[in-house]
Each structure stands twice: as structure tokens, then as C-alpha cells.
Amino acid sequence: MKVDWQIPVEPWKTIAALFLLPKCDMGCTFCASDLGFDRMSYEQACALISSLHGAGYENIVLGGGEPALWRDGKRSLADLAAHAKSLGLTVQVNTNGIRLAEGFANIPDVDRFIFPMDGATSTMHDSLRIVLGSKPTGHFDLVQERVRQCTEAGKQISIGTVLNRNNRDDIPALVQWMRRQLDEGANIHAWHLYRFQAVGRGGVDSEEQLALTDEQFRQACVEAKGSELPISIWRRDDMLNSSTVEFFWFDGGKLHVGGQVWGAAAL
């Protein structure tokens, strides 16, 4: 496909996160994702991934909405992962885990799955992570099963937690949860602690209920980092302005780049 974009080259940004589609099968209370952008076609996604590789990106994150819902005719997420892998990129899938295909953990072209865990109990996690449809709860158990399947397959994972006013006191119990997974053989690459942001389809309406002060967020992160878990723990104050990750999506057929769109909005 003929491309009509130029990827900004910022050598300190080595990770490219792709918003493949807005659709999701969850309605998380803090969702920072937007609804108003295009579902990428297979051709667009492959051309973009090739351009990103050409611009020096080493690592891509296939995300959504929910990337496991992405299709283009017969093409599925596995085809995008295969294209990225053929270029030598590290391939991550940032997923809620619900619609992953059977045997997902054995797909060789995916290096790592990123799963959410937002509370140490189903009561906390499922109050924040709502499954759309007739059975809104059960996501906590599902993530635990996905982690177990990855452990069995030897597949690396990362865990993301959106820290907010409701779950900040869960840090010690989340540390214990993480330790249990490690004891059972999970290959955990990192634990990302994202600060709740009042943006997107869920975040805007949840600000009053979920917003944290700077002090509360930092304190929770200090507590997690002080746990001496043998994994990397990252404090993500504002993921949209990350120094290492850039975001890409299409809207109206045109490529959009997070740093340009949000940077411009902040001026």
C-alpha cells in the first residue's frame, strides 16, 4: 500500500502502541480509550508496522479497544503479529484476555501478553473491570486463568494496574498475588502501575469517584516498589505522555500520532 504518512523519529521512543480498533467487550470504570477512531485494515496495519520498523521502533504493542476482537476478512491478530515478527520486532498484545483464541499462549509470534489486574480479589477487580453483557463479573478469575495458561506455555506476561482511589490500599495484597504467580512459575516481565486519568470513555465520568492525589499515587507506588518483588515495577504517571512509548491510530483514513495530537491539545 502507498503510504501518505511520515513517522516522527524520536530515538528515545522505542515502543509503538497501535490502537487497532475502538471496539471492546468490557466497560471498565476507568477506561481511557476513546470510541472515535477507525478500525485499521490489515493493509494499513502492516504498512504502519513496516514504517515503524523503518523509523527505528523495536517493540510494538497491539492494542485496542480490545485487540482480540480485531479482524479484517480472514485476517486476525495472529497475522499482524506474524508480520511484525518477520521484521524482527518484539511483539506484545495488550488484552483483557476474554476473546483470546484457544492455544493463544503458544503463538510464537507474540513475545508477551499484557493483562490487567486491578485488585487482589474478585470483589475489587470486578467492581472496576466490568464485562459487557449478561455476566458483568468473572473477569478476575478469567485473568488468573490466562496467567496460568501463559505459565504453562512458558509465555512471558506483563501486568497492568490502573491505580485509583478505590484500589490503592490493595497494593500489599496485589504484591502477594504477584508473588504467588511467580512461585507458580509465571514469567512476569513487568508490573505497570498506571495512574488513573480522567480521560476516555470511562475515565471522564469516573473522576470524582476514582481520582487520586499525587501523594496517594506516589505512596502506593513506593509501597509496591519497596516490596522487593524480583520483577521490574514501573510507575506510569501519565501514560499518554510517556517518554518511551508512542501511540498510533487512524481516524478518517489518516494516521494520527499521540505525541502530536495530545501535545497540540495541551498547548
Task: Give the footprint of ligand SF4 on this chain (CB under 6 A).
Answer: 24, 26-28, 31, 33, 64-66, 96
**Of the two residues 22 and 174, which places its CB atom closer to ligand SF4 in the complex?**
22
How far separated are the first and last CA of the chain, in Å rounded?
34
Shortest distance (Å) from residue 250 CB to ligand SF4: 17
Rounded CA gap, 230 and 190, in Å? 9
**Of the two residues 7 and 18, which places its CB atom closer to ligand SF4 in the complex?**
18
**Of the two residues 173 and 239, which places its CB atom closer to ligand SF4 in the complex?**
239
Which residue, among 50, 55, 33, 107, has the nearest Cα to 77 in the 3D structure? 107
**Of the two residues 28 and 89, which places its CB atom closer to ligand SF4 in the complex?**
28
Shortest distance (Å) from residue 31 CB to ligand SF4: 3
**Of the two residues 20 and 188, which places its CB atom closer to ligand SF4 in the complex?**
20
Shortest distance (Å) from residue 56 CB to ligand SF4: 28
Q: Report the sign of the C-alpha dihedral through residues 25, 27, 31, 35, in that order.
A: positive
Shortest distance (Å) from residue 200 CB to ligand SF4: 7
Take residue 4 and report the three cell numbers written for it: 501518505
Rounded CA gap, 91 and 80, in Å? 10
**Of the two residues 47 and 128, which places its CB atom closer to ligand SF4 in the complex?**
128
Take residue 32 and report the three cell numbers written for it: 481511557
Name the packing angle between helices 42-54 and 77-86 (round to 10°).
Answer: 20
Burial state string for 130-156 with b = 16 or more CB within 10 A and e = fewer than 16: bbeeeeeeebbebbbebbebbbeeebb
Shortest distance (Å) from residue 69 CB to ligand SF4: 10
Shortest distance (Å) from residue 66 CB to ligand SF4: 5
